[in-house]
């Protein structure tokens, strides 16, 4: 009997995305899987139930989740949705586990095999599965659009008979996927762009996009990047020097976009209230890290606040503000991962020794199995066995092969410090940028190629 995929309608009030598209539904069906899409799941993303039906899906109700072997979601299921799911089902979503350990444990106790898509390793093989990059790419673009809307003036320089309109000055803090896309978008719109990041590798990428790089380039700066491309936490001395440089620069900017995140920790504070006060009335700050505590002091989740004439934009779920595009990319990310677990005969099974599974599998066999969340003091969680494991099948302990170390997790909080800690630390420095626009991982020419994503919704 064919196994069943259930595509949920997201219950979070700020979530407009959906975890499948007509294109991916058609591919699942071609692989021999049944697909049930919850009624109205794609409407907020511009996808009708009829389009899903034409692709081969059946339209169902939320209760149909209990019949499914595989659950596809954008966000982690809530308590009621966990109870609705069948024991042994596999759930693929952005799980946002840091700070939500109780919810992760609840999924384990419910017998779900929960995959955190934001934990996908940043390796060549997994590029097409990387939700962080695909969603952050869109968030960076949207940040410039939102910032320009609030700015209320033209971005490019315009020379007219009535006079000259000066080009807007845009400053991007954090040069990961979101930051690179923000730079490229602002440049295309004609702004004068500068950018900063603590990782030396980003300097060339910034300059290749036609922007100016700003940083204290001392010896510590040269050692500020890990082997995996993530930012290290800088010393207090460096932070002070970078903060002073940043403060004087921000005072002259029209639009500032912040994207800095540190895996498993709160977003670092990059812009203080004193810096905000130094900006000209009419200036705008767009905080893409507001869901993790914010890079900008005074940012409020889900709101645009005004401080002495300066607007601070704290929109929630920025990728979701481009739901149609974000859903198509996210759906492809899920399909690219899921197809590695489906045999030619259409049978879904979890390949326990696969490096991608080890990095992303949070719960399995009734317990939390991810090394970052399994309690050391508790009864040892069942290890994922070396053989292929079917959904719901209890796992045997693998004595000789412990789980591989997981890749750095997606964005979640812990402790905020001062300016210039680690811009875009949730994203490793992308490879060498090409001429115009950043791609999801490696900035490509002209148009941003989607690919790994900011967050929870991306983030960015």
* Phi (first) and psi of residue 399, to 5 degrees: -65, -40
**Known catalytic membership, residue 343:** no
**Known catalytic membership, residue 230:** yes
**Known catalytic membership, residue 96:** no
Determine which one of 73, 76, 122, 265 is catalytic. Answer: 122
Determine which one of 127, 135, 242, 455 is catalytic. Answer: 127
**Known catalytic membership, residue 133:** yes
Q: Cα(79)–Cα(145) distance, rounded to whole angstroms?
A: 36
Q: Cα(285)–Cα(105) distance, rounded to whole angstroms?
A: 37
Q: Cα(313)–Cα(302) distance, rounded to whole angstroms?
A: 8
Determine which one of 230, 315, 330, 335 is catalytic. Answer: 230
Q: How far is CA 334 from the centre of its chain?
A: 14
**Known catalytic membership, residue 98:** no
Contacts of the segment 295-298: beta carbons below 8 A, 24+ positions apart: 295/173, 295/174, 295/258, 295/259, 295/260, 295/267, 295/268, 295/269, 295/270, 295/271, 296/256, 296/258, 296/269, 296/270, 296/271, 297/269, 297/271, 297/272, 297/273, 298/273
HEC string for 379-437: CCCCCCCCCEECCCCCCCCCCCCCCCCCCCCCECCCCCCCCCCCCCCCCCCCCCCCCCC
Pairing of strands 388-389, 350-351: antiparallel
Contact predicate 263/116, CB 8 Å: no
End-to-end CA distance of the chain: 40
Pairing of strands 255-258, 310-313: unpaired
* Phi (first) and psi of residue 325, to 5 degrees: -70, -45
Name residue, tokens 């596809």: 72
Name residue, tokens 């969603």: 135
Determine which one of 133, 134, 225, 242 is catalytic. Answer: 133
Q: Cα(107)–Cα(127) distance, rounded to whole angstroms?
A: 27
The residues assigned a catalytic role are 122, 127, 130, 133, 230
């Amino acid at each position: 009997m064919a196994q069943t995929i259930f595509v949920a309608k997201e219950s979070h009030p700020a979530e407009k995305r959906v975890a499948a598209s007509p294109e991916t539904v058609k591919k699942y069906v071609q692989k021999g899987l049944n697909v049930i899409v919850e009624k109205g799941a794609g409407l907020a993303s511009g996808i009708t139930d009829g389009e899903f039906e034409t692709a081969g899906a059946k339209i169902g109700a939320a209760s149909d989740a209990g019949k499914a072997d595989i659950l596809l979601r954008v966000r982690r299921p809530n308590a009621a949705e966990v109870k609705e799911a069948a024991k042994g089902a596999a759930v693929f979503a952005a799980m946002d586990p840091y700070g939500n350990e109780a919810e992760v444990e609840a999924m384990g106790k419910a017998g779900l095999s929960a995959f955190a898509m934001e934990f996908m390793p940043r390796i060549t093989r997994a590029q097409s599965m990387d939700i962080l990059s695909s969603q952050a790419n869109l968030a960076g673009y949207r940040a410039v659009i939102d910032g320009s809307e609030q700015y209320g003036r033209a971005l490019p320089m315009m020379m007219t008979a009535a006079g000259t309109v000066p080009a807007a000055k845009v400053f991007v803090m954090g040069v990961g996927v979101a930051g690179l896309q923000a730079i490229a978008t602002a440049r295309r719109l004609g702004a004068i762009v500068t950018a900063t990041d603590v990782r030396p590798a980003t300097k060339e990428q910034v300059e290749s996009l036609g922007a100016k790089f700003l940083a204290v380039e001392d010896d510590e700066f040269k050692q500020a990047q890990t082997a995996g491309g993530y930012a290290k936490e800088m010393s207090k001395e460096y932070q002070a020097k970078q903060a002073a440089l940043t403060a004087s620069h921000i005072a002259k900017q029209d639009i500032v976009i912040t994207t800095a995140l540190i895996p498993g920790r709160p977003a670092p504070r990059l812009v203080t209230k004193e810096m905000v006060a130094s900006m000209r009335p009419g200036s705008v700050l767009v905080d893409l890290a507001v869901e993790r505590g914010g890079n900008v002091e005074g940012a409020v989740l889900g709101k645009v606040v005004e401080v002495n004439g300066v607007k601070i934009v704290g929109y929630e779920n920025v990728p979701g503000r481009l739901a149609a595009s974000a859903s198509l990319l996210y759906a492809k990310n899920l399909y690219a991962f899921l197809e590695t677990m489906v045999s030619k005969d259409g049978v879904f099974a979890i390949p326990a020794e696969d490096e991608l599974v080890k990095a992303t599998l949070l719960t399995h066999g009734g317990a939390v199995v991810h090394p970052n969340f399994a309690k050391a003091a508790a009864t040892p969680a069942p290890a994922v066995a070396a053989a292929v494991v079917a959904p719901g099948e209890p796992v045997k302990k693998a004595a000789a092969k412990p789980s591989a170390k997981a890749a750095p997790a997606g964005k979640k909080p812990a402790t905020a410090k001062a300016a210039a800690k680690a811009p875009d630390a949730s994203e490793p420095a992308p490879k060498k940028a090409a001429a115009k626009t950043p791609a999801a991982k490696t900035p490509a020419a002209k148009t941003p190629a989607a690919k790994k994503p900011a967050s929870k919704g991306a983030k960015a």
